[in-house]
Chain A
Amino acid sequence: MRALFARIEAALGFNQGADRIVPPTGFTASATIFASAAMAFLAVFALAFSFATARLAQTWTSALAQTATVRISAPADQAQAQLAQVLEILDQTPGVASARALSEEDQQVLLTPWLGPDVPVDLLPVPQLVEIAQTPDGFDAAGLRLRLQGEVPGAVLDDHSQWRKPMVASAQRMRWVGYVALGLITATAAVIISLAAHAALAANKQVITTLRLVGADDGYIKGAFVRRFTLRAVLGAVFGMLAGLLLVAFVPTKGTVVLTGLAFVGSGWLWPLLIPFICAGVSLLATHFAARSVLENLS
């Protein structure tokens, strides 16, 4: 693996110019590339997770905000009358685009996941449901609730807000968890690269002494190490990002579970391309500070 990395580095011109003063081999080279690749791979997933949860929150917000349900629990002999009354009230309510009484088949479909396919729903005292589609402006839920309460005592308006709000809040918190994970991954990458740079500089004390002997200043020495480590970090990050993207591309996107929606959509696929650049920035800073510290200690 080390030989492979060395060949790739040589092919990419890592050993040109001033960078040649940094010995090309050693465990720090592999460690930097591997750590960057692993962190970039995880970052792709953290990013995909953040985007997935953001989409989920958006879907729940927009889809559920546009719908509401009226539940009618009335004695069998009054059910049809109350249904007709509810539909009439809804027809008169501003902000209601349409209202539709669910058929027995629709209700059967809704209940099957909970009760199983063999339960005769038509024999159960299941309340009648009316599905409401709202206009973009929506309706006055409180006013409608009061009117239904007064005119159709068996009807209860459910605008989904009771369970929609916590779900949206939860999805948004999960998105932040994704961002925090990205932050932690970045910080961890910085720490690992910094440690690798520290180790490499300390292991190359003789190189630094020789360079100083021939008149190299700190900027020259630091620059060579920073460039070498940054290029290695970018190389690792590109590998990790590509591997992450490939895996995300093959994750099934159909289904109802959150994780099965772990994918990038449209221009979202471009975001992971930033990971190698971020990794380069992190590596540059981490190596810069590591080099400064080691060069001060060696003087």
Chain B
Amino acid sequence: MTEELNPKFSFETLVVGAANRLAVTAARTVAESPGAAYNPLFVYSPTGLGKTHLLMAIGQLAKQLAPQARVEYLTIDEFVEAHHAAVAAGQSEALRSRYAQVDVLLVDDVQFLTHRREMQAELLRIVQELQAAGKQVVLTSDCPPADIEDLDERLLSRFDAGLLVDIGPPDAETRLAILLRRSEERAAEFGAGVLQAVAEFEVPNVRELLGLLNKLVAYQAVSESPITPASARELLAGEVRTQAPMTTGPAPALTAAGEPVAAPPSERPDEFADFLSDVAHTVEEQVEAWRSRLGEAIMRWEAEGYGTGRLERLLDQDVPVSLDRVLRQFERDVEQLRSMQATMAKVDAERAEDPVFYDPDRLDEVDQLVQTALHEVGPPPGPSAAWALSSFVIGESNKLAHNSAQAVVKQPGVRYNPLVLVGPTGVGKTHLLHAIGHELAAHPGAVVACLSAQQLIDELVEAISNERVDVWRTRYRRATAFLLDDAHLLTGQDRTQEEVFHLFNELFDSQRQLAFTMGRVPREVEGLDDRLVSRLEGGLVVNVPSPDRELRRSIVVRKLHEDVGAADEELADYLAARPAESIRSVVGLLQRVIVAAEAQGVAPSAALAREMVEGAAPARPRVSAAVRTSGIMISPSGGVRSREKMVWHWPDPAQRVIEEMA
């Protein structure tokens, strides 16, 4: 009862044009996801426009995508026949359950249901059942469902609830595409322009079009001379039926139900032509309006003294331009010129008046000029390369400071801005600050200012006395990072604080990194402007404390490795055990030990260090000796060798008291 799907009728062999695009798209969707998109899908068109092709294509694709899917294609006639046979055999339930198992049901020629109430009810039942089970139903007909005479209202509403699409007669391009494809399939070759000539015939459907092609192929087979476009036209002229939908005049509009809308009174002028000319006029006005706007813009910028060559050249061209964009760009360029001119004025007022600063077409040149001038002024003092982040010794006590420095290096201006390192002198703040500067300076285009507050004050004083404060300021405002060491030295320096305040704001606003070192937290520094204090406190204030024992040891070990190649563990332990306020004092002491060792021609050792710090170490503890000291080590020569008041071996207090009494 079911026709096999004709493998020739697939989506691949279907020529898609404007007239069937919607139908084909819907069909593809349905085949790709049966039951999900449009259910049922109802395709209608006059005969010969590819409805059956479309149905079979859906079936093929659905089967291809889901090989286990059950796809049934049937015409209404087959459906009726099968139904009658089943009823006669008492098998109507079996037939019904067979349909119920179908995943995609494709029903052709639904228009033949007209006046078959019983079959309509049967189809309705099947459609309902399949829809309820999420199975796909696709139907075709030669007219919209509403036009099928005597069709059950319930079927109508079922069809309407899905998607109704129609296929129109193919347009000239589609006709040509179909002819080309079919003649290729049949290996028929025609002279230039022949198929184009055939495509000109406004045949009402594809079948008739293919009929024309057949005739042409047959004619060519028996003809001695090759077919020309003219002979093709002549040959086929009598074959073509003229069809209402293909006439060139406006086609009668159809309502959704297919009924013609009341025809417009014939005396009405060509409203569309009128509309078109109206639209054309508006578009022309809008498109051409740019010339007058361009003229206005040229006058404006000329009056302000800027070169408008770029805009004038546009006036000469025919192609309308995107004026807003051009004018916006011009305005932006002028803004940039102005800003660069202002920068130049700070460095060199005379050169800032160069005509080049009024020509938006020479932006690059201007930029070069300003960069050169700035370069002549010189960059701000940068970080010292001597202090690298890698040589910074990390211990528990300064880990936080180190981590925040790393974060700053990773995301300058974003993560911690400003970063304020606070701690006593000699704990590595300056090292860390310069290390940050050094890392930041490695970024392309980076200008890192890194200097001490005292240096900044001195520079400003000099700039004031030379009346070059603007130039001085410009140097720092170019900086991509500003790192100020010993910022507490700004105390009482109102003018410098004022400058730092403005600099801070400008750099901060443009997300450039700021970092400071200070002896105490900003709020505890007297004589520092509140505005600065709040800005510094607003960033990350990290304490860098005195080095702990572990850190001291690491420093000693690293220094020993650097200076003498190997670290004496005992020496490291000895020096690390000695309390120290700063890294500097640890390093200083070690340095002295190394120098002394070098002088004596021996390796630095704990014994040497002990001797230097405490004088000659006692051979063994002389606890019971008659001579007691207060703990100050007396050298054999009688002088105090070390001024370190370190008690090496604390005598028994009781004995001391006795001794003094004696």
Q: Do A and B come from one complex?
A: no
A residues bordering B, Cβ < 8 Å?
none
The interface of chain B, by Cβ under 8 A from chain A, is: none
